[in-house]
A and B are shown apart, each in its own frame.
Chain A
Amino acid sequence: MKARRDRTSLTALAPFLWLGLFFLFPFLLVAKLSLSETALAMPPYAPRLDWSQGIAGLKAFLAGLDFETYARLPTDRLYVVAYLSSLKFAGVATFILLLLGYPLAYAMARCTPSVRRALLMAVILPFWTSFLIRVYALIGILKPEGLLNVALRAVGLGPVSLLNTDTAIYIGLVYAYLPFMVLPLYAVLERQQHDLLEAAADLGCTPLEAFWRVTFPLSLPGVAAGSLLCFIPMVGEFVIPDLLGGSSTLMLGKTIWTEFFANRDWPAASAVAIVLLFTLVIPIVLYQRQQAKLTELGR
């Protein structure tokens, strides 16, 4: 009995160990960095914890930490703009994804099984190639002498310059995140009982009214899941704005990268990252609440 209890508690401990090692520890490291100051040293920040001086060293170290970097963030236009534009990019892209993904998921849930398999495959297949390669493929399509312009010229339409514009970022975001929108939506729509629609029709609903009164409200957990699953990582997205966006495009992912590697301002980069994290905690909590609700409904 005792041995058994020990084993269960060990099993329960495993995820905590994992989280502690790969989430909490790095998080504390970044948090500490954000409270430090830049210094001409290697690594480029101060204070450093000097173990040889014992408690006194720890005290000196703690005294050296402050929130100055955080205070600096809102005064620097660059950060504010990057922050707001990240939210804007992620928000607009999520909305576009919803408009595109919902009909796609709906069609997948309603079509014959063989067509459904084909569509599901088409949604999942891109995952089989590297994300980076797919973004480079997009560059190949969007660049001035790329596939898109070749095709446009063939039908007698003028060239469009999309690469290095906000439009290119939207195209990239929507393309890369579509499966994350479609799959949760598909999951809720596919699970929906057909007889509910018959009941709605029986009680006087046209097919469109039945959609708005039954199908759509029942799919809201999927809408929330898909939206948050896309929105959260898109706010911090780095690769897509970096490769597809123009040099003037500011997004937080890029800002963090620049601060870290170009400016060697590790505390600033960390502070931006922490602020981003706390902004995302709200949607993450919302997402988890939705998931709990989804499980309840799915019983």
Chain B
Amino acid sequence: MTERSRPRLNIGAVRSTFAPWADPTAKPLVRFENVVKRFDGETAVNGVSLDIYPGEFFALLGPSGCGKTTLMRLLAGFETPDEGRVLLAGEDLAGKRPHERPVNMMFQSYALFPHLSVERNIAFGLKQQGMPKDEIAARVSEMLSLVRLDGLAKRKPHQLSGGQRQRVALARAIAPRPKMLLLDEPLAALDKKLREETQWELMALQQQLGMTFLIVTHDQEEAMVTADRIAVMRSGQIVQMGRPADVYEAPNSRYVADFIGDVNIFEGVAEHADGLSVRLASAESPQGFDIVEDDRIPLGSTAWLAVRPEKILVHLDEPPPGPNRMAGKVADIGYLGDWTTYLVELESGRTIRAARANATRFVDRPVDWDDQVWLTFARDAGVVLTQ
């Protein structure tokens, strides 16, 4: 939960200069064109168009059942689209069987071959390519050290821990040097600590190999940490696509704002716009909300203001009256060590989340349960959403 609050322009900025999607001359490695996939009349993927560029670490993010795995399987060749096309390096993949496609998949279940040792699992794809024996041996030992499994070459999968199995699955999928690696919930089966470590390792690995990665996950933190770009999915459609920072700080709908990180959403009516800011009349704040907003919002229409908890300040002393100010009582405090989350109950009965980094070990006046507090946020702290 710590990732969500890194300042703008810093988030996901592993490579701030890497942005092939913004370059009109760049050629995508993978292109989905209006892809539709139905199962027994039920639409799992509903008109997805998507470009993924060479060297990119791309994440498909969405709740369980939204069609992420299906989209990935369409690329790997295990499903065929009912409509639309899937292209790899400009070539239509229609009619190509999975074994003919130069992409490899790391299965959510790992799907390790139980009758083969670790090294023979890793060598499986290499043998299939007809690689000479000594080259296979060299590649396998290279892979083993890459995923830090040296010494376990002779083990069978059932003699490994979950984390080790995950590494074997990864090594097996990257060993044949595919054009692209597909990872279906690669970290879902690991415990939290290992998951976090592995996220960083995956990023390092992707950089080291220069390979294009497509990761499927329902875990927003996983997507935010690892990916260059994220596509947020909902019922078979992509609802927003962009860098982690863009998706987090500039969600385009209440759904995305709510799905990625925590958010407070205030409903109101757009009242006044002077070209620079919007005044949103709302029951939650006596003087309404004042927001810098670049998009034009029709006056008199209902709009929603989304403000992240860490952008809301908690005051024990009453600040001067003005917009973006709410009064309430501390109803609950969640202490996470690095962060503290305050649940503040407004007079209207509405509960607001505010979060604060515990930057110092001691505070003069700690906020306590049932304290009367005031909440404020800056004019550029929130996003106005129209859907």
List the interface of chain A (C-beta within 8 A of B). Answer: 193, 195-196, 198-206, 209, 213-214, 217-218, 296-297, 299
The answer on a CB contact under 8 Å between A198 and B99 is no
Interface string of B127-140 (1 = CB under 8 A from A): 01100000000000
Q: Is B158 part of the binding interface, using a Cβ–Cβ cutoff of 8 Å?
A: yes
Q: Which residue of A lies closest to B98 (CB)?
A: A201
The answer on a CB contact under 8 Å between B76 and A203 is no
List the interface of chain B (C-beta within 8 A of A). Answer: 76-78, 97-99, 104-105, 107, 109, 111-115, 124-125, 128-129, 158, 172-173, 176
The answer on a CB contact under 8 Å between A198 and B98 is yes
The answer on a CB contact under 8 Å between A204 and B111 is no
The answer on a CB contact under 8 Å between B125 and A204 is yes
Q: Which residue of B lies closest to A214 (CB)?
A: B113
User: What are the 4 A-B residue pairs with the smallest beta carbon separation, nearest first?
Assistant: A203-B125, A204-B128, A199-B111, A201-B98
> Mind listing 19 A-B residue pairs with CB under 8 Å?
A193-B111, A195-B107, A195-B109, A195-B111, A198-B105, A199-B105, A200-B113, A200-B124, A201-B77, A201-B78, A202-B173, A203-B125, A203-B176, A204-B99, A204-B125, A204-B129, A206-B97, A218-B113, A297-B115
With A193-B109, A195-B107 known as contacts, the answer to whether A202 contacts B114 (CB < 8 A) is no
A196 / chain B contacts, CB cutoff of 8 Å: 111, 113
B78 / chain A contacts, CB cutoff of 8 Å: 198, 201
Which one of A198, A213, A218 lies within 8 Å of B107 (CB-CB)?
A198
The answer on a CB contact under 8 Å between B99 and A205 is yes
Q: Which residue of A lies closest to B169 (CB)?
A: A199
B128 / chain A contacts, CB cutoff of 8 Å: 203-205, 209
Which one of A202, A209, A218, A299 lies within 8 Å of B98 (CB-CB)?
A202
B176 / chain A contacts, CB cutoff of 8 Å: 203-204
Question: Which residue, of A196, A202, A299, has the highest number of chain B Cβ atoms within 10 A?
Answer: A202
B104 / chain A contacts, CB cutoff of 8 Å: 202-203
With A209-B128, A299-B158 known as contacts, the answer to whether A201 contacts B111 (CB < 8 A) is no
Bound complex: CA A150 to CA B194 (Å): 73
Q: Which residue of B lies closest to A199 (CB)?
A: B111
Min Cβ gap A188→B in Å is 11
The answer on a CB contact under 8 Å between A218 and B114 is yes
Bound complex: CA A218 to CA B112 (Å): 12
Which one of B111, B115, B172 lies within 8 Å of A218 (CB-CB)?
B115
B105 / chain A contacts, CB cutoff of 8 Å: 198-199, 202
With A198-B98, A299-B158 known as contacts, the answer to whether A203 contacts B124 (CB < 8 A) is yes
Bound complex: CA A110 to CA B260 (Å): 41
A218 / chain B contacts, CB cutoff of 8 Å: 113-115
Bound complex: CA A197 to CA B125 (Å): 13
A209 / chain B contacts, CB cutoff of 8 Å: 99, 128
Min Cβ gap A168→B in Å is 39
A206 / chain B contacts, CB cutoff of 8 Å: 97, 99
The answer on a CB contact under 8 Å between A201 and B99 is yes
Min Cβ gap A190→B in Å is 15
The answer on a CB contact under 8 Å between B99 and A217 is no
Question: Which residue, of A204, A206, A217, has the highest number of chain B Cβ atoms within 10 A?
Answer: A204
Question: Which residue, of B76, B104, B109, B128, has the highest number of chain A Cβ atoms within 10 A?
Answer: B128
Bound complex: CA A218 to CA B113 (Å): 9
Min Cβ gap A290→B in Å is 13
B99 / chain A contacts, CB cutoff of 8 Å: 201-206, 209
List 11 additional A-B contacts (Cβ < 8 Å) besides A198-B98, A205-B99: A198-B107, A200-B124, A203-B99, A203-B124, A203-B125, A203-B128, A204-B99, A204-B125, A205-B128, A217-B115, A218-B113
Bound complex: CA A297 to CA B78 (Å): 27
Bound complex: CA A195 to CA B77 (Å): 13
A217 / chain B contacts, CB cutoff of 8 Å: 115
A296 / chain B contacts, CB cutoff of 8 Å: 158
A199 / chain B contacts, CB cutoff of 8 Å: 105, 107, 111-113, 172
B98 / chain A contacts, CB cutoff of 8 Å: 198, 201-202
The answer on a CB contact under 8 Å between A201 and B97 is yes
Bound complex: CA A80 to CA B97 (Å): 56
Min Cβ gap A88→B in Å is 32
Min Cβ gap B262→A in Å is 35
Bound complex: CA A214 to CA B120 (Å): 12
Q: Which residue of B lies closest to A221 (CB)?
A: B115
Q: Which residue of A lies closest to B114 (CB)?
A: A297
Q: Which residue of B lies closest to A213 (CB)?
A: B124
Bound complex: CA A213 to CA B99 (Å): 14
B109 / chain A contacts, CB cutoff of 8 Å: 193, 195
Question: Which residue, of A196, A200, A203, A297, has the highest number of chain B Cβ atoms within 10 A?
Answer: A203
Q: Which residue of A lies closest to B175 (CB)?
A: A203
Min Cβ gap A187→B in Å is 16
A205 / chain B contacts, CB cutoff of 8 Å: 99, 128
Min Cβ gap A5→B in Å is 34
B158 / chain A contacts, CB cutoff of 8 Å: 296-297, 299
B112 / chain A contacts, CB cutoff of 8 Å: 199
Bound complex: CA A77 to CA B76 (Å): 65
Min Cβ gap B241→A in Å is 26
B113 / chain A contacts, CB cutoff of 8 Å: 196, 199-200, 214, 218
Min Cβ gap A196→B in Å is 5
Bound complex: CA A206 to CA B125 (Å): 12
Bound complex: CA A261 to CA B158 (Å): 55
B124 / chain A contacts, CB cutoff of 8 Å: 200, 203, 213
Bound complex: CA A202 to CA B99 (Å): 5
Bound complex: CA A199 to CA B125 (Å): 10
Min Cβ gap B206→A in Å is 19
Bound complex: CA A198 to CA B172 (Å): 14
Min Cβ gap A219→B in Å is 10
Bound complex: CA A140 to CA B148 (Å): 68
Min Cβ gap B108→A in Å is 9
Min Cβ gap B149→A in Å is 18
Bound complex: CA A209 to CA B97 (Å): 14
Q: Which residue of A lies closest to B105 (CB)?
A: A202
